[in-house]
Chain A
């Protein structure tokens, strides 16, 4: 694979973006050289070093593991620039000044190895200006790679190639960014702001303009631009607070200075005295003293919003709620709503969608590029053309025309048609040739969404489904709300195991929800608790244990492929799989203790087994039990798949996929690789420390309790966990079976779930989403 040719990367410029890009390269397991200027003669690498140090403290963390951080080598431009010769890709991420960038490139030309890629992370400067004065060889190797902040978490990468760029080299970088850095690539043209910032800045501007012009409060405005429009939930003022109000004038300035005079943006770009004052006074949003919203700590953490007319903060007021279809995402109804709400919605959507439509083919080759850019770069739930489809292209064109505004050519081209359609199970988009084409997909990508469009499930019930994903592999999908685990899922697992033996070679457990599964359906379980249906709860626990063990001992390989949160029962299913192929952004943990419970679906035994059979870990009954106790009693959650390995939630041989869209294909490949000669695992047996071990664990928690780090009830919960992990009444000489541990788990789980203090914790979690420290 071509990506393998990138063995080392140099990032020049250790600001937020440069450092973040370096971290993501390191997250891919590739060494990085991070350079910046010399500011302190005594410590010439101080700038880059400081950037790495800062990243180690940043939350959410730019690095996925400590090992990744070690892959970043720091240096400075004056002493170490020559070392770019070692690197296969040089990323420039210095300040947005053409003269400085050009000077740097001139120096780079002298030291770099020809044929290796050089890219700029500029967001504003056209490519042809950047390479002015450079050699043909440099121009051949040059491209723009525009990352979004923060580079680890934002999936969009805009790539701009120049007329002289070597297509193979650009593909190589794109491939590396896709497979190794996990980015979705959008190819943009060399136009100001590229795609996402061009549409995004325009959208924010019209949103601000309309709110001021219509005399709306920030809450009223966000109540419309937020949830009903769905792009994104924060609304516009909320978003600007998040990204920083001071960024707005910069983006505005760069666009007004580079866009042609007749571009619509030139007419709408405005500055507001209130916003200028806010920036000058340090009210730059969440990172500053406050923004359009703030939490007033002096007033008992009162939520406040700024009055757009006076600039004074006042208590936040709930905006009147929309009703009817407009509130439920019917955009046509929303823009037709009488009064300010409808006017505001139309002001934003009419302008923004028309503008976005006018950018194909000027800034992007097709509509898909624009939609993907906005969804992944600005967290819009729908892209502009998907939004147009929800209004109706013809309706939008009609209203624009009726108001005497220009109708973009592509809207006319669409006529009565929609921009997207599903034809023969394939999602298609409307091309500039007026015909529909399949939505392009990077090579090797397999999405369950596509499988589902093309086929019927092999099995299905209210909470799960089984799909045929080809080549003899079945895919078990959770379909319950939030992928919460319940009795139905356990039932389907049992059925799936029988069916897969007959008709398939292997099983993948995977879904495309934003989280793999945050565990059991607590609300449902709590309802059973509330009506004292203890027998039902015990059945639910035993049923889950049985389903997971059935999966574990099934006569075919099972590969689980989590992305996002895999907590509680969602983690336990990974522990019972033959292998895991995890998305890099997987947050894995056994969090039951947080709500006063203990893992009840076999998680205790599986974790003990992992640590007992870890060759690098001390032998004997106590060390493994103590390690698992430490991890589980504190409800530890890994902040990445890489970190999950440190806790034993993943094994060294489990795979990590950087690109979310490639996860299913990788998991499937992994499952198929296990088919030949597959034998189900043997049942482990355990030697556990018994009462003495339990007493030791209690002592450890007591010391936390004394320091105020563990609550009274934490002591009780962790002792229950200790009882299971040490084998209950077992003695050092006894052999404890898996079945014994499961019985202990059930007993311990029931003891805790019947406790009022556990019930109080679950109540609190269900009503606030936060743990109760009782």
Chain B
């Protein structure tokens, strides 16, 4: 059964306790967002997720979106939920106050995003894409465009999209064909077809603002000849209300494995009026601004679904009785013990829990850096934070979504045969989570980004932001008690990561294929070390809190238990990664192509 209660205690822990010494310093610009205030926001978001979004998650999946005469209809309840969402001010949460936003820290916003996606990931796509489009317009568009579009997008009256993919080009955008012809009035006429456009059309808002990648007539070939345009579904009138239709139409919607309540559209632009966002032929740069923030958000989607799947699995493992505990009956009053008593079920639940808590901790560390990059008064800190965000973005995207899917899969397994039946609600999580590993750059592309761009940049300068705190933590915490074993494990995994990094840098310089062959394992290795670092820190803090006493002992004890499980049962994955990286590309590329 789908149950979802936002894990508020753990969220408050990563937000207020875990990363206080992250080196990004105080951010006076965000000082007004005190723990009291953010607590209230988180609680309200949790309520909204549980009461408004969760109830339409499974029904939305069953019903899906429809297209009638070129008009896309969302499933029952979505319009109402969206209105409530907008009226509650949730669309404006993290936006700049200049455009009507509330300017909430990213650390809080990402937690809210996790809740929305945990309750209903399909729903989350609509405001999520708007947020990405808003960011691109804010960073690159001319003032008039900002004035005309941002307030309505921030308030949620209009939504936004990103139109990149065409039928023949996904990962390789250099091939795209959509054309933009300049007009005398400074606008452009956009013509072309796009596919896989999330929220491309729907019935939630009166207007939709598309950001479209297209080519100018004299543009250079490849990715250096792509420009970004703002193309509204309806051209706004002088008073800001939607006016004349702008040649933007939805030809069809895709029939997908999951994420069914989110409309994935084929969009046609026919002589649609658009305006340039950013400089001519610099569309990829503008797009990447949006994509980078979106990639972290997609990672959080994976985590959100993972948390929901975990909760559903725990509910079932307590509910379902089957067999007796191997150490003697635990519920003699029942015909069998709840399956939560069985070691293999525990293995699954603990694994899911450790993935979720580890990712949440890493995610909040990265969110802190995003805030510091935007708001720190110290240029060095801003640079340091930007380096860290750049390094960790592909890790968050790929690691969180890989584990999100794995967690959903484990939830299905926990349910046994019932998990394979639609009514249980958990197979939806597996289907929904699956897309997060693919869109916004497949996880393979994320790994390439990490080893090909982020690792070698400026002689490894980005790495410093991660390696130095981890190294310092290991040096400073060799001590005693349960932490000792954790730090030893972390040290070993960190050593494997250092060695792998040096090897990839060395081999990759001579042969890029070597770096590419190591990429996926390397990303996993780095991600696991990041989780290990966060768990060790968390355990240290938890131990200190327990020593202090207080009434939160259960939470901290559980935190230490989960950390111990992570070090015993999950961190050893790093050894496999290390061995795979060390093996190099030879056996991967050795088989003759014809033999496939």
Give A residues with C-beta under 8 Å from B.
523-524, 526-534, 536, 759-760, 763, 766-767
Contact = CB atoms under 8 A, between A and B. Distances in A.
Contact of B467 (A526, A531, A760): A531
Interface in B489-529: 497-498, 501-502, 505
Given A532-B498, A759-B464, A527 B470 contact: no
Contacts of A536: 502
B460 A531 contact: yes
15 contacts: A524-B459, A526-B459, A527-B459, A527-B460, A527-B502, A527-B505, A530-B462, A530-B467, A531-B467, A531-B501, A532-B464, A532-B498, A533-B498, A536-B502, A763-B461
B237 interface: no
Nearest to B220: A320
B461 A530 contact: yes
Given A531-B501, A532-B470, A766 B459 contact: yes
B586 interface: no
B468 interface: yes
Contacts of A529: 464
Interface of B: 380, 458-464, 467-468, 470-471, 497-498, 501-502, 505
B458 A766 contact: yes
List the 4 shortest-distance A-B pairs measured between CB atoms, nearest first.
A532-B471, A530-B460, A530-B464, A527-B460
Given A528-B502, A531-B501, A532-B498, A523 B459 contact: yes
Nearest to B471: A532
A492 to B, nearest CB: 18
Among A524, A528, A529, A530, residue most surrounded by chain B Cβ atoms (within 10 Å)? A530
Contacts of A528: 502
A766 B501 CA distance: 20
B461 to A, nearest CB: 6
A382 to B, nearest CB: 28
B467 A532 contact: yes
B407 to A, nearest CB: 30
Nearest to A530: B460
A533 B502 contact: yes
A763 B457 CA distance: 11
A530 B384 CA distance: 13
B458 A767 contact: yes
Contacts of B463: 530-531
Contacts of A531: 460, 463-464, 467, 497-498, 501-502
Contacts of B471: 532, 534
B296 to A, nearest CB: 22
A526 B468 CA distance: 13
Contact of A526 (B460, B462, B470, B497): B460
> Interface majority SS on B: helix, strand, loop or mixed?
helix
A766 B467 CA distance: 20
Contacts of A532: 464, 467-468, 470-471, 498
Contacts of B467: 530-532
A593 B156 CA distance: 56
Contacts of B458: 763, 766-767
A759 B468 CA distance: 12
A530 B497 CA distance: 12
A763 B465 CA distance: 13
Contacts of B505: 527
A763 B461 CA distance: 8
A283 B200 CA distance: 59
Contacts of B497: 531
A676 B363 CA distance: 70
B459 A530 contact: yes
Contacts of A534: 471
A711 to B, nearest CB: 15
A527 B463 CA distance: 9
Nearest to A521: B459
Contacts of A526: 459-461
A526 B458 CA distance: 9
Nearest to A532: B471
Contacts of B470: 532
B276 to A, nearest CB: 20
Nearest to B463: A530
Given A529-B464, A530-B464, A531-B501, 10 more contacts: A526-B460, A527-B459, A530-B459, A530-B461, A531-B460, A531-B497, A532-B468, A532-B498, A760-B380, A766-B458
Nearest to B474: A532
A720 to B, nearest CB: 20
A766 B463 CA distance: 16
B174 to A, nearest CB: 14
B31 to A, nearest CB: 25
Contacts of A766: 458-459
Contacts of B462: 530
Nearest to B494: A532
A767 B383 CA distance: 14
A528 B468 CA distance: 11
B384 to A, nearest CB: 9
A327 to B, nearest CB: 15
Among A532, A534, A760, A763, residue most surrounded by chain B Cβ atoms (within 10 Å)? A532
A766 B459 CA distance: 8
B503 to A, nearest CB: 11
A262 to B, nearest CB: 46
Contacts of B459: 523-524, 526-527, 530, 766
A5 to B, nearest CB: 55
B502 to A, nearest CB: 7
A548 B344 CA distance: 60
A726 B467 CA distance: 34
Contacts of A533: 498, 502
A532 B463 CA distance: 9
Nearest to A524: B459
Among B458, B459, B505, residue most surrounded by chain A Cβ atoms (within 10 Å)? B459
A199 B571 CA distance: 69
B386 to A, nearest CB: 14
Contacts of B468: 532
Contacts of A524: 459
Contacts of A760: 380
A160 to B, nearest CB: 51
A62 B463 CA distance: 46
Nearest to B469: A532
A767 B387 CA distance: 15
Contacts of B464: 529-532, 759
Nearest to A762: B459
A523 B463 CA distance: 14
B92 to A, nearest CB: 38
A527 B497 CA distance: 14
B586 to A, nearest CB: 21
B22 to A, nearest CB: 15
Nearest to B380: A760
Nearest to A522: B459
A760 B459 CA distance: 13
A531 B380 CA distance: 19
Contacts of B498: 531-533
Nearest to B464: A530
Contacts of A767: 458
Contacts of B380: 760
Contacts of A527: 459-460, 502, 505
A531 B465 CA distance: 9
Nearest to B472: A532
Nearest to B501: A531
